[in-house]
Structure 1
Amino acid sequence: MHGPLNPESPVAAKVFPSPNHGERKEGRRPDMVILHYTGMASESEALQWLCNPVSQVSAHYFVFEDGRVLQLVPEARRAWHAGRSWWNGEDDTNSASIGIEIANAGHPGGLPPFPDAQIESVIALTKDIATRWRVPAERVLAHSDVAPGRKVDPGEKFPWEVLHEAGVGHWVKPASIQDGRFFSRGDRGMPVEALQAMFAMYGYGIKISGVFDEDTEKVVAAFQRHFRPERIDGVADASTIITLRDLIAKRPAPTAS
């Protein structure tokens, strides 16, 4: 890390530098925050991996289960956290974002709950970053949102609603699951095209083809994991579609920078 080893966020206790970072593409200013879980059984191993030059991965911040926060990469630098990803027309999510790794064993460890102290720190840290970099609420995202199918973190147990109640991220109450018409793999036609267009409008990387293919299923599952976690099956049922419609309708109007 260049310069004085003081964290840029007051929420972070200290700097624990990772060598894994580079220049942001064309001086891109970050206007996204992407949340991850580490997916490893040991916090210390996860931290060491993010700081190991062999790993080729990193994040700007690391949040321990007890709520302690370390800064690993300067905010102005491009950390290597999102990998192959896409959101709202951009395919270099790393250049556009600040990444936060949350220590949690994740799906490999049976999806343990996130402790309250940890979530409080995630909220405080994300709020601070979002305020300083003017990150819109709807651009606080899951790794799974920007890499559907390839990534599933921070997972369906992550308390997005709690974050939203504290003023972080965009969220609406999910529509209740009920019987009725749904769209799934193999369906095709104008309704599928309209559904794909809605997901694209929200920001997901999806081709508007009118065919409910494997990639569409992955996007639907990623959406459910973040916004309708009660059932994650990649099937676009009424609950999923209504929740997506409500999110689009209630998205805050863009503010002039």
Structure 2
Amino acid sequence: MARVACIATVACLLAACTTPGLRIDTSHTSVVQASRVQFLILHYTVADFDLSLDILARQGRVSSHYLVREDPVEVYRLVDESRLARHAGVSEWRGVTSLNASSIGIEIVNPGFTDTPGGRVYAPYPEAQIDVVVELVRQIMARHDIRPEFVLGHADIAPGRKQDPGPMFPWKRLADEGLVPWPDAAQVAARLAHHAVQPLPDVAWFQQQLARVGYRVPRHGELDEATRDVISTFQMKYRPGDIRGEPDAETAALLDVVVTPGGMRVARTAAAH
């Protein structure tokens, strides 16, 4: 009897292997759902196109959803938007960590920077390349309903460790297109007039405001290298003419406005597209 039972069990297992796959009814869809993608992260490659493509598509260490070539300007999708790409690394924004799991990455072919005796020199972006990046950002945001304040640079989510897309990236162009929020100029001018005649806030104040913006920043009140890195990253985006990481009146004015309700404006042109 035991042998018969064993044979019967094997027969059942073999039959299960040939049973058609599980049928799933997809006729009902929940109204409570959204894209898993919350963030859009912009990078530069610090390499030419051929090397960038090799690194991102073939070497097997890092990847990105998109690669935007500079000459000729072309867009390459390397990872489907539904899948995870390894472009963010160790990262954090507003307390959310490991942003690979919740973001789409765009790598822009650009040599990055050159260190010279006169200081670090960043490479510009061709206008035609930026035109394509703007349209790509617009389409991705629409597909995943990404909030404008969650379109970020790699430096924002990893200050000090990363500098991209660098001070030459035209964030103001994206703001004018309604894709990212921007500090209201009138409010910045008013706050600058205030800070110009008042003692500069202490380092702890700068750290507190930068943390409110979303950066991971030390909170010990000392102007150490990590704090300078975060200040410099903030300046790269909103005041790229001086990115030394020094606390100053203009940076304080910008921080005041960025963290104030109503201080950040999104251009209405976003609704026109």
Q: Give the TM-score, by structure 1 length.
A: 0.77
Q: Counterpart of 2:165?
A: 154
Q: Which residue of structure 2 aligns with residue 11 of structure 1?
A: none
Match of 1:82 in 2: 88
Show structure 1 runs of 5+ residues with no match. Answer: 1-26, 184-190
Give 1:125 deviation, angstroms.
0.6
Among 22, 44, 47, the residue aligned to 2:50: 44
> Which residue matches 1:125?
136
- Answering whether residue 73 of structure 2 is matched by residue 63 of structure 1, we say no
After TM superposition, give the deviation of residue 94 of structure 1 in Å.
1.1
TM-score by length of 2: 0.73
| Residues 85-112 of structure 1: per-residue CA shift (max 9 Å, x gap) | 1111012011121100001111149433
Question: Aligned-pair distance for 1:234?
Answer: 1.0
Verify the 8 A CA contact 1:127 1:167 in the aligned structure 2.
no
Alignment match, 1:4: none
Q: Deviations over 1:130-166 (max 9, x none)?
A: 1111111111111111111111111101111111111
Is 1:106–2:117 an aligned residue pair?
no
Write out per-residue CA displacement over residues 57-94 of structure 1, whole angstroms, 9 at most, x where no aligned residue.
Answer: 11100111143111111112111111111111012011
Q: Paired residue for 1:116? A: 127
Structure 2 counterpart of 1:31, from 2, 13, 38? 38
* 8 Å CA contact retained: 2:45, 2:108: yes
- Take 1:209 and 1:69, find their aligned partners in 2: how far apart are those partners? 43
Report how far residue 179 of structure 1 moved: 6.7
Runs of 4+ in 1 over 3 A off after TM superposition: 173-183
In structure 2, the residue matched to 1:141 is: 152
Cα distance in 2 for partners of 1:248, 1:166 equals 22
**Partner SS for 2:93:** coil
Matching residue's letter, 1:82: A
Greater radius of gyration (CA): 2
Counting matched residue pairs gives 218
- Does the CA-based 8 Å contact 1:221-1:235 persist in structure 2? yes
What percentage of residue pairs aligned between the two structures are identical? 39
User: For the Cα contact (< 8 Å) 2:182–2:265, is it kept in 1?
Assistant: no
